[in-house]
Chains A and B, each alone.
Chain A
């Protein structure tokens, strides 16, 4: 079986979705927010066959919040990283739980830690913190009354 190279994957995706950019440095595919579900369904199906979504998380860059999806294709043995830039004012994004079942809990964790709301998710609750928790702990501006800062020497 011939393994697909990263640039071949990009050529393949770009032929269908010309809006997709490659992020300099990380090699991730940056996609527009409203295209997410379409791109996900395309990547899941043939010929790319990314059948495994094994990481959903976010990065708080203060001026924007980056969603990160890491995909893996078991048959083609290739990994691909998707990124979506969200503005902190509008943290709504489509849920991928209908495409990959593993997205269910991973998206709940991202909601718990960063406050990104996934529309169309079957069970949008917190998963790690208590259900009545206030705030989103992995945001840069998060504070907690019982937070004891480490003394800097």
Chain B
């Protein structure tokens, strides 16, 4: 049904999107918690910076990544010392996709943490729980559905990322040519319609599966609390 090339593209896209969303998740949780629970000077600035990838042209984000992580860039040279190269590698595609999905993840996670009743956290504190213990035993378990939803949103966004990815890591078959850039490339070629539809169908199916899986996970988390 799929050519070996198409299967490679699909596997690569899933791998990139998974690394992007899972890699961004801890930072998204930390930032989401900060914005939800803390007041500090510069909070509005942090909020704006987090949302920047949402409003900037994706190509600009990609170019900024190239300038920073390219072999001549400051971050690129620093990582190069450890043998880590991101430009034109699938890990670079994951970085680009992760950054583009980050604002959506933070928004979702922040909202779900804000929805955790602070009075429960207060009660936990009076019972001797330190701030870290309160976070891991009260806030996190109660915000869990939102965290999953955030990760899924990040995954879906990463799967479809195009502008930043193609600018930063180009569209190298087998390495950085994910679903979107593959479809784009096929549009330049006559007779590519069938292949395009196959890839598009996969994109839709994966996204749908991710959404349904997260819905099921959320319901399963809530389930035991509703049982008599």
A complexed with B: no
Binding site for A on B (CB under 8 A): none
Binding site for B on A (CB under 8 A): none
